[in-house]
Amino acid sequence: MMDFIIQATYFIGALLFILGLKQMSSPVTARRGIIWAGIGMVMAVLITYFHHEIHHNYIWMTVAIAIGGVIAYISGKKVAMTDMPQMIALYNGMGGGAAAAIAAVELVKQEPMSFTIQSLAVVGALIGTVAFSGSLIAFAKLQGIMRGVIRFPMQQWTNALVFVLAATLGLAIVLSGTQYAMATLIMFFVLALLFGVMMTIPIGGADMPVVISLYNALTGLAVGFEGFVLGNPAMMIAGIVVGSAGTLLTQLMAKAMNRPISNVLFSNFGDAGSGEAAAVKGSMKEIDATDVAVMMAFAEKVIIVPGYGMAVAQAQHKVWELTKLLQEKGVTVKFAIHPVAGRMPGHMNVLLAEAGVPYDIIYDLDEINDEFPTTDVVLVIGANDVVNPAARNDPNSPIYGMPILNVDYAKNVIVVKRGKGTGFSGIENQLFFADNTRMLYGDAQAVANELVASLKEL
């Protein structure tokens, strides 16, 4: 009877994970989805105390849950919204590491397992370990602990060799049943850790949204596989759902960049171009905040395009204050979000929601692209490649074919930028030199403050 209650509770918890994930697909219901998924997790954790295989490990379980819970609560409370990408990368890595640890514990026992279960344990260990070490490198890059990219001759061949060696050791473990040496198991995990590191170090920050999403998918699959090993339906269902959702999101984000996933993982950013990019003609034309405020105040429609520059400056609250002032003057204001704006999926949406921007004035690329030709002013805040017309008209550009926000079709474009250099990827932006574009230099928050002050004086 107790076993039935345990399995039923796991199943209900898994259903709550699925319903929660569904609710998270909309900003309106995302908070409810997180609560539902949290309730499912609490149920799964509590019912585990009654599992017949726990034996005398209650103290260790409680200590581990307490330590993890305190760390998560404190870090969750203190982390700035602008640092959310690296926090997600870190927590995602912990999930992959946990799945790999489960596999390690089961394999260290060297107890008889069916060929299928042992295969799932090894595969889950491999991808969970890769997701763990790779996510830690992604965290280090986003946090600024590791700067730039690391590349060396024959890098991809070296990476392939490391993976083949790890996979070969994994296959040896599966085929040997319970007769494998501990040294083989240890070397298998070491090579898997090394592969995750080596696969991630050459990837630049511009590709981090896709990388984080991919590692999220790998973590989900690892958890799902280890769920089969433990016979735990909650882990099976939750892992498979997260894995499939993460895979779909990774594909959608790669499509939004017009780059196959293989190009993100195994090529330098910018390898897509077939020749030398076209030279940019014209010059950047500067404007001051007072003139921009007047231009926006007397416009009928303004579209704001946020980017990573807004996140770095933590300017979302001031941007929302600016929006409300414009709305009070009868201006229609909308926000346009590119799928890969920022450093993680939905980064800009999270920042705007945190500032209190209503969901009904936030639009994605497909919903708003047709409105730019009828827009009086577009305010671009810290975005670069996602608004670069070279993606449409320069076949030799590294970003050619990437869907962009067509801000250059608007009557007037104001670009808020800290300096005159190229963006994060190092690609020159044709938009900055266009006849209808003016550059407003400065930190995004300082500029937003100036615009707010100027609007209040009108």
Average pLDDT of the chain, as a whole number? 87
Rg of the chain's alpha carbons, rounded to an integer? 25
On whether the pTM is more than 0.75, the answer is: yes
127 and 175 share a domain? yes
pLDDT value for 274: 44
433 and 295 share a domain? yes
Among 266, 298, 316, the domain boundary falls at 266
In a domain, 254, yes or no: yes
Judge whether residue 269 has pLDDT over 60. no
SS3 at position 331? coil
Judge whether residue 425 has pLDDT over 60. no
440 and 304 share a domain? yes
235 and 106 share a domain? yes
pLDDT band at 238 (very low <50, low <70, confident <90, very high): confident
Q: Mean pLDDT across the stretch 406-417?
A: 94
219 and 317 share a domain? no
Q: Mean pLDDT across the stretch 253-272?
A: 65
Q: Which residue has the tokens 């449409």?
A: 392
C-alpha distances out from residue 348 to 67, 182, 354, 406, 426, Å: 31, 47, 10, 18, 21
The secondary structure of the chain in percent helix, strand, coil, rounded to multiples of 5, reads: 65, 5, 30
Judge whether residue 428 has pLDDT over 90. no
C-beta of residue 362 within 8 angstroms of C-beta of residue 323: no
228 and 303 share a domain? no
Name the residues annotated as catalytic.
385
pLDDT value for 452: 94
Which of 6-15, 247-256, 420-429 is predicted most confidently? 6-15
Q: What percent of the chain has pLDDT over 90?
A: 45
Range of the domain at 441: 289-457
The string of pLDDT tens digits covering residues 317-370 is 999 999 999 999 999 999 999 988 877 777 888 889 888 999 889 999 989 999
Task: Find the CATH number of the domain harbouring 403.
Answer: 3.40.50.1220
pLDDT value for 83: 78
Q: Mean pLDDT across the stretch 379-383?
A: 91
